[in-house]
A = this chain, B = another copy of it.
Amino acid sequence: MEINCAEDQIVEKIELLPENQLKGLRLPTIRRFPKYLRILWELSSMGRDVVSSEKIANELNIDSITVRKDLAFTGIIGKPKIGYSISLLINGIERLIKPNNQTNIFLIGAGNLGAALLGYKGFEKHGYNIIAAFDSDPYKIGTTIHNKPVLSIDKITEIVEIPGDNIGVLCVPGNVAQQTAEILVKSGIRAIWNFTNVELKVPGHVTVLSEDLSSSLAVLSVNMKKNAYK
């Protein structure tokens, strides 16, 4: 599956950021970037031109030093007494976190959660093309959910035909998660956004990001207990 779309690989390379700009980027910083973007988009729509790190920090309940350190990764420099140019920041952040031009989302498993994710506005807003859903339920196949077609899971190998970076959003039951992931890998997928609670085993060239609601529930529970003492 590494052999497909040699041309696309080249196109992609051209659009890549210099490696060292990504290198120092750490997880907490990356996770904050979309939060900055949301604030910047809003300020921009209000007609504002500049913003201070302090202002952003207050909106997010974090420290302004953290904001400045994060923003430094974009290469955008602020002016003392003034702050940062909002439009430059938006460009700078998007350059770091936006997907490459042709990045396609395929949703696997159009159950409750899958159907909900098909309606997630963030895909388009952040530059992803959500193409279709795959399911094995004959009653769902042929229908559309949020205007996206639901296709037979047997058709999944055809995604290799689609040019660009293809991301699979895995929303199948846990007991078929690993085998479905393997089909995705064979189909030439570059990344899996894993909403099952299974730890997937995939080759190194495939990027996996797992969501885990039970982890969050645990945090909520412990925070509540800690909060009871205050």
Contacts and interface: CB of A to CB of B under 8 A. Distances in A.
Number of copies: 2
B112 A218 contact: no
Contact of A219 (B12, B30, B112, B221): B30
Interface of A: 12-13, 16-17, 19, 22-23, 25, 27, 30-35, 37-38, 59-61, 96-100, 103, 111-113, 115-116, 119-120, 122-123, 125-126, 128, 146, 165, 167, 190-191, 193, 197, 199, 204-205, 207, 209, 211-230
Contacts of A218: 30-31, 33-34, 97, 126
Q: Is the interface of A mostly helix, strand, loop or mixed?
A: helix
Nearest to A211: B216
Contacts of A100: 225
Contacts of A229: 16, 19
24 contacts: A13-B228, A16-B228, A19-B229, A22-B226, A30-B215, A31-B216, A31-B219, A33-B218, A97-B218, A97-B221, A99-B224, A112-B146, A116-B116, A120-B213, A122-B217, A126-B217, A190-B224, A190-B227, A191-B223, A193-B216, A204-B227, A207-B223, A209-B219, A209-B223
